[in-house]
Amino acid sequence: MIPTLLACTLYIVTALLIWRRPHPLLERTLPPIALALHGAALSGFVFRAGTITLGFNEALSLFAWQSSLLLWGLCFREPLRILGTAIYPLTALAAVVAVSSPSPTSDIIIDNWKAQLHITLSLFSAGLLTLAAVQSILLAAQDRLLHRHQLTHLARALPPVQTMERLLFQLIGIGFVLLSLTLISGLWFIHDWLAQHLAHKTILSVTAWLIFGTLLWGRVRHGWRGRVAIRWALAGYAMLILAYFGSKLILEEMLGRHWT
């Protein structure tokens, strides 16, 4: 519990620094310490003897952890630091929930390279698309502030609109490729959709894939941007979240079943 609380404190401090008192050195050094503490605490009860013991709250914590990890790494190349004001506090919240309220778990065997590859692709695609969703929300806020001619602290902290849109489509593009590979690799594990309780998850995942694919096509073919891009990005992310967490919540918390 103590490592998790220390990690949460560092997440919150980093978010506050980004928002109120920018300090590039601390913003780069505090997150990896928080990530290491959070990751160590999480791995202690998630990864065991070739399996992943993963309940709903633990999955949420792992999901948030790798989103923060991706954000920290990407900030070395792109001006994405403002995303930390949302991602880091949410990661802290997910970490506390996982530790304080363990949920019913299911063991996922990861003793072969196919399973390891599928899980890795799934995590990274979801992580990048999470950052894209937060980016789209900030872009929506920026668009509204500009139309209202309000020069708030948020408006001053954000990069130019063109940069924000470029970063949004970069995140979606890479996330889409990884999501495509995730769906393809998932075919290795589907033997009976109904018996394995995978039908709803697969349908929602494919729907998310189609939405993101349509958005990218619209960007190239018709130059979609602004509010149109924001709506499509958030719709795709909503489907992706429902595919994993919605299905997992219903199966485990309500029906007492697991994916197999």
Instruction: Give the integer Cα–Cα distance in Å for 140 and 227.
Output: 7
Provide the pLDDT for residue 260: 44
Residue 172 burial (C-beta neighbours within 10 Å; 0-12, 13-18, 19+): buried
End-to-end CA distance of the chain: 30
Same structural domain, 134 and 79: no
Tokens of 103: 């949920």
Query: What is the value of pTM for the model shown?
Result: 0.86
Instruction: Give the integer Cα–Cα distance in Å for 61 and 253.
Output: 17
Which domain-ending residue is among 83, 110, 137? 110
Same structural domain, 122 and 223: yes
Same structural domain, 126 and 11: no
Domain count, the chain: 2
Same structural domain, 155 and 52: no
Tens-place pLDDT, residues 76-121: 988 899 999 999 999 999 999 988 887 655 555 556 667 778 878 8
Instruction: Give the integer Cα–Cα distance in Å for 59 and 94.
Output: 9
Same structural domain, 60 and 161: no
Which domain-ending residue is among 93, 110, 127? 110
pLDDT category at 191 given cuts 50, 70, 90 is low
pLDDT category at 34 given cuts 50, 70, 90 is very high
Same structural domain, 124 and 182: yes
Q: Which helix (H) or strand (E) element contains residue 114?
A: helix 113-147
Q: Range of 25's domain?
A: 1-110
Mean pLDDT of the chain: 85
What are the CB-based long-range contacts (under 8 Å, 24+) for 67-72?
Answer: 67/91, 67/126, 67/127, 67/130, 67/131, 68/11, 68/31, 68/34, 68/35, 69/35, 69/127, 70/124, 70/127, 70/128, 70/131, 71/31, 71/131, 72/28, 72/31, 72/32, 72/35
Mean pLDDT (whole number) for 25-53: 83
Same structural domain, 138 and 257: yes
Q: HSE, CB side, 13 Å, CA atoms: give it for residue 147.
A: 8
The Cβ of residue 113 has, within 10 Å, a number of other Cβ atoms equal to 8
Same structural domain, 137 and 253: yes
Instruction: Give the integer Cα–Cα distance in Å for 234 and 133.
Output: 6
Mean pLDDT (whole number) for 24-35: 94
Same structural domain, 83 and 55: yes
Closest CA to 213 of 172, 168, 170, 184: 172
pLDDT category at 244 given cuts 50, 70, 90 is confident
Tokens of 253: 């918390």
Give the dihedral of Cα atoms 115, 116, 120, 123; nearest 10 deg.
50
Same structural domain, 244 and 222: yes
Same structural domain, 140 and 243: yes
Q: Are 208 and 236 in contact (CB under 8 A)?
A: yes
Instruction: Give the integer Cα–Cα distance in Å for 14 and 68.
Output: 11
Please tell me whether residue 54 adopts helix, strand or coil conformation: strand
Same structural domain, 136 and 78: no
Which domain-ending residue is among 85, 110, 135? 110
